[in-house]
Structure 1
């Protein structure tokens, strides 16, 4: 419980009155997060894109229109992986594994500051791509990668994609 004292002037007719008082603020109870489930952890272990649904349910940050984007991007990456060379397939699967592993640690947290979520996710993406040799392997597969990333980049409102 927090009390806030205040003073302010009130004009009534041509007289000014000083009014004081206290406002009592009872903090609202924190909303209960959905539990960490074995089913969701199994999705994570299996690198199943449904894991992102669990993550969004546990930490419902952001616009509702963006909630399915991570899962859709994961599915699209897996669907298009067959068009890559053998090295490219290993590479994209390692990136997916890296990202799911990192996001699983986020999923296990007791809380998440949604205002810092986007920057955190972008940092995870950066680490996963650079630690998996994006500059060398990615360049060889740039055409197919463009097909995977084109829609998220062109439709995103994020400043990270803007040039």
Structure 2
């Protein structure tokens, strides 16, 4: 009888996912992305079933939280840049074909996400708000406060 109970429970879960219950999680991710909320990456990771070592947690969430926690180091323009870039990075994922594709892998997501970085950074004022900030304040903040682990920004292990 217990075996029959688990079969019924599994059927209920499947029915809930066929109806609006599973899309509710996707909708929540979209709302988080619209707000630039770093927990978007937790939601995304759960939807695609990524591990802690995959892009949503190991990079997206990590640096979203790091930029947010170090925002006081940045000028007003730098803080605005952080907000707009965070939203852009998240929205680029939400607006991609990968986002609603149930077969999307974490590796595909990582490749797509990294490809969107340069556009989001530059189109939201990297050259003006970060690179040309007074006495390079914002660039120094990125180097000294955000990317403290040099390996992340291109150095290879020796």
State whether TM-score is above 0.5: yes
**Given the alignment of the two structures, is residue 88 of structure 1 paired with residue 78 of structure 2, yes or no?**
yes
- Looking at secondary structure, tell me which structure has more strand per residue: 1
Distance 2:75 2:84 in 1: 14
- Looking at secondary structure, tell me which structure has more helix per residue: 2
The CA deviation at 1:116 is: 3.4
Distance 1:114 1:56 in 2: 8
The CA deviation at 1:91 is: 1.1
TM-score normalised per structure 2: 0.65
**Given the alignment of the two structures, is residue 142 of structure 1 paired with residue 139 of structure 2, yes or no?**
yes
Greater relative contact order structure (CA < 8 Å, 6+ sep): 2
Aligned to 1:40: 29
Q: Which has the larger radius of gyration?
A: 1
Which stretches in structure 2 are left out of the alignment for 5+ residues?
Answer: 1-13
Distance 1:39 1:84 in 2: 29
Which stretches in structure 1 are left out of the alignment for 5+ residues?
Answer: 1-31
Distance 2:36 2:106 in 1: 24
TM-score normalised per structure 1: 0.64
Aligned to 1:129: 121
**Aligned runs of 1:66-77 on 2, under 5 Å?**
66=54, 68-69=57-58, 70-77=60-67
